[in-house]
Structure 1
């Protein structure tokens, strides 16, 4: 029994897909900031569903005022950005329904937002959603999926581990 008191808490490093859709290599995202990994490494999803789930157990660090992006910190310390669509900052929140708030603790699979794909397309934006590891100087992505299509909350995109 005493062994369990001093045992390190097991941290889940799995990063599950926050959206259902087609997997897009980051290098193929039609935006240089993401495709050239200026913000960090990651992957993108072309969504087929409007629901965005938490990909990790952790905390919501920042919901952008324009509702197009959510910054999160995993329990293992990795920081990630879910950038819903491209050029969507110009929509000033139109087409997005945020379901969480800054500082909120979340578990993998919990809803974070709804993204109205039809509104985003009608307004001339793209729905492809980059998912970026922001603190790649401390963490690395491994075991990246080779699947072409993923299901939100079920399929693992990759693992994030401390360097």
Structure 2
């Protein structure tokens, strides 16, 4: 849809960068994908990187280092939930380090946490992550990237039409 037709329909375009490097895949590839059906907008990635970046400016609302899970309320109102790994870990012992705390203000591209893919594999975790927009009910439509490989913060994961 062109910018002119977007203006005529009154929709606003919002892009959400990829928060970690990886390849988009089918939800059935990992148990992390099972929850995607409960939300309107979500994506499963086969992880190729080792850190999660803030996709947008906002505030951290929840972080669980043992679950490698973080929730972010973006300044534009979007609420994102990013989770890496299917297993619980003992943070530092597994080479996982959070860089933020709950209520921290973050800027887009700021590192939220780092993890060691080799340690995750030793813990029995498959290299997958999920990214979900938890309040997507008012989004008219959306597109998820069709790219075969996405680089953290360099590529767009979701294009939203609000």
Q: Give TM class, smaller chain.
A: 0.7 to 0.9
* Offset, 1:46: 1.4
Give the alignment's TM-score, normalised by structure 1: 0.79
Structure 1 segment 20-35 matched on structure 2, within 5 A: 20-25=21-26, 27-31=27-31, 34=34
Structure 1 segment 67-86 matched on structure 2, within 5 A: 67-86=67-86
Structure 1 segment 25-64 matched on structure 2, within 5 A: 25=26, 27-31=27-31, 34=34, 37-38=37-38, 41-64=41-64
Which structure has greater helix proportion?
2
Q: Which moved more, 1:97-106 or 1:134-143?
A: 134-143
Q: Which moved more, 1:14-23 or 1:115-124?
A: 14-23
* Offset, 1:61: 0.8
Structure 1 segment 121-160 matched on structure 2, within 5 A: 121-139=121-139, 142-160=142-160
Q: Is the 8 A contact 1:13 1:76 kept in 2?
A: no
Structure 1 segment 90-109 matched on structure 2, within 5 A: 91-93=89-91, 94-109=94-109
Distance between the aligned counterparts of 2:66 and 2:155, measured in 1?
28
CA displacement 1:92-112 (0-9 Å, x = unmatched): 323321011111111221111
**Residues 1:148 and 1:141: Cα distance change in structure 2 (over 3 Å):** farther
Q: Is the 8 A contact 1:23 1:149 kept in 2?
A: yes
RMSD: 2.3
Q: Is the 8 A contact 2:43 2:132 kept in 1?
A: yes
User: Which consecutive unaligned segments of at least 5 residues does structure 2 have?
Assistant: 1-11
Q: Which residue of structure 2 aligns with residue 119 of structure 1?
A: 119
Distance between the aligned counterparts of 1:137 and 1:126, measured in 2?
30
Q: Is the 8 A contact 1:29 1:35 kept in 2?
A: no
Aligned residue pair count: 149
Give the alignment's TM-score, normalised by structure 2: 0.80
Distance between the aligned counterparts of 1:32 and 1:63, measured in 2?
17
Q: Is the 8 A contact 1:78 1:139 kept in 2?
A: no
Distance between the aligned counterparts of 1:139 and 1:96, measured in 2?
34
Q: Which residue of structure 2 aligns with residue 15 of structure 1?
A: 16
3-state SS of paired residue (1:13): strand
